A and B are shown apart, each in its own frame.
Chain A
Amino acid sequence: MTLTPLRRHASLAGRLTVRWLATLIAPVPLALARWVLVPRVLVPWVLVPWVLVPRVLVLGVPIAVVSGMAVSGVAVSGMAVPGRAWAGPVADESLVEAPPVIRDTQAPITCTVTFMVTDTANGDLFAQRIRVPPAETDQAVDHRMPCSPDILPRLAGFARDACTIRAADARTCVYTDMGRAFSARPEITNTDVDASRCTSDTASEIAASCWMKGVTPICNVGCGATPAEALSRARARCQDKQQRPCTASAILAVTDQLAPSPDAPPAPSAARPVPAPPGAARSGQ
C-alpha cells in the first residue's frame, strides 16, 4: 500500500506516540510484574524486563502480566528442581576453585629432554626437564614429537644450572652419568653429559643406578620405555662402568606431560625409525 506524505507522517507520528506511550506505560506493568512475581517465584531479575517489554508494547498490560506469569512459570519449572542453585549470592569457595583441566587426548607429546645432575657436596640428585617446542616441519611419531639432535647439545648447560643455582659451590655440580675415574677425581670432566639425559621421543623413563661413596652417589643413567627397563639399563651400565654392585637408584618419568590416551586415534606420522636411546648405544645394550 502506498501512503501519501500526510498519511506517512501520521503513521510515523502514531508509531512515535505509541512508543512514547509505551515508554510511559511499560514501567507500570513491569513494576507490577516484579512486585507480584519476583518475591513469590524468585524469577531472575533480568528475565522480567527483557521478556515482558515486547509483549507490553504490543499487547498491553493484562496480556503482559499473563504472559509474564507464563514465562515465569517456565523459568520456575526449570529452576525449582530440588538441588538446583537459586539466584542469589554465590559461595566464595566456588569462585576460587581451579577450573577443570581439559586433556587433549590426541595431542602428541612435546619433545622433552630430561637431564640428571648431581651435587656431589651433599649427594642431591636433580632432574631438569626441558621442553623443546616442535619446528614447523616436525611430525609426530607414535604420538611423540621428535627431539632434534642439533638442539640437544645446547641444553646441557641450562640443565646443569638447576644444580649450580642451588648449590653452595657451582663446581660440585656434575652430570650424573659418571666414569670409572669419578670416585677418585670427582670432576665434571669425568662425567658423560650425553649419557646423562633421556629424550621423550625414544624413552618414557629415566633412571639412575648408583653406589654410595659416603653421601655421594656414584651413578650411571639409563633410559627405557618402562621404569623397569630404564633401571635395568642404568644398573647394567653402572655395574659395567663402576665394576661394583649398584644398589641405590632413582627413577623418574622423562616428561611431565600426560601420555596420549590409548583410545586416541593415531596422529599423522612420518615413517621414520625410532633411534635407540643414547645410553643403550654406548653400553651396547
Chain B
Amino acid sequence: MRIPASIPAILGLILLATPPARTAVAQPKPAEQSLRVFVPPPLEWNRRTFVTNPALVQTPYDLARANGNLTFGMSASQVAAALPGLPSDLDWNNLRTAREYAADVRYFWLPLKDLPAWYNDLQGCTGTESYAAFLFVRRHLFRISFRLIPDAACPSVSDAAAGLFARYVGLSTDLVLSVRYRSTPAEVVDITDPTETSLIPIRWRMSGT
C-alpha cells in the first residue's frame, strides 16, 4: 500500500504545532505571612456629646491580672514583695535616680528572665541583657519599662516585644497607657499610669543610660 506523500508532511506540521512537554517545575507560591493585629477595647459613639467613650468597664483588677498582680500607685516595698528574689527592705530611699526625667523619679530593675509573670508568656526570644525597670515618682509606681536588647543568640526581639505589648493593648487607656518603640538596638515596651500626664511623653534612650 502506498502512503500519500503529503501525510508525512502533515504529521510533521502537527508535531511542530504541539507544545513541548513541560519540563520546568512550577514555582512554589510564596508562603502567606500572618500579621498580628492589636485590638484595643471597643469604643462607643455618644450621639449627644459627639465623642467616643469606652464600651467596656475595666478596673485596676483587670490591669493587675495582666501585670503580675502589680498596679500603679504601689510603693517600692509593695512591688518588691510581689516580685521574686528582691530584698524585703527595698524602699524609695534606696532606689536609683532615673536621669532621663526632670522630676525626682527613681527605679530598680530586674532581668526579664527573673520575672516569670512576664517571661514565661513571651513568644519569641529575648537577649540575655533584657530587663524591666520599675519606675516610681512620689514613692508610687507609675511606669514599668520592658527593655529588650538583642544579642548574638537572639538577633530579633520583635516578636517578644509585640507579645508584651499585646498584653496591655486590650486594656483601657484609662487604666494603662502602653507604648512600643525602638531605641536602637533595643525594643522598648512602656506601660504607664495614665494619670501621670507630665511623665507620659518621656522615653528611654539606650545611649543615655
Contacts and interface: CB of A to CB of B under 8 A. Distances in A.
A132 interface: yes
Interface string A180-215: 000000000000000000000000000010101001
A122 interface: yes
Contact of B33 (A133, A135, A151, A248): A248
Interface residues of B, number: 33
A250 interface: yes
Contact of A166 (B39, B52, B178): B178
Contact of A167 (B45, B162, B179): B179
B36 interface: yes
Given A121-B182, A124-B165, A167-B181, A249 B45 contact: no
A116 B179 CA distance: 18
A166 B166 CA distance: 11
A125 B180 CA distance: 12
B53 to A, nearest CB: 10
Interface residues of A, number: 37
* Chain A contact residues: helix, strand, loop or mixed: strand
A165 interface: yes
B169 interface: yes
A250 B34 contact: yes
Contacts of B182: 121-122, 168
A129 interface: yes
B202 to A, nearest CB: 11
Interface in B16-35: 30-35
Contacts of B42: 112, 129-131, 256
Nearest to A112: B42
Given A158-B51, A248-B32, A165 B177 contact: yes
B44 interface: yes
Nearest to B201: A168
A128 interface: yes
B37 interface: yes
Nearest to B180: A122
Given A128-B43, A129-B39, A155 B52 contact: yes
Interface in B146-174: 158, 162, 165, 169, 173
Contacts of A212: 33
Contact of B40 (A119, A126, A245): A126
Given A121-B182, A166-B178, A249 B35 contact: yes
Contacts of B55: 131
Given A125-B38, A155-B52, A166-B169, 17 more contacts: A116-B37, A119-B180, A121-B182, A122-B182, A124-B162, A124-B165, A125-B36, A132-B44, A133-B47, A155-B45, A158-B52, A167-B180, A168-B180, A247-B30, A249-B32, A249-B34, A252-B39
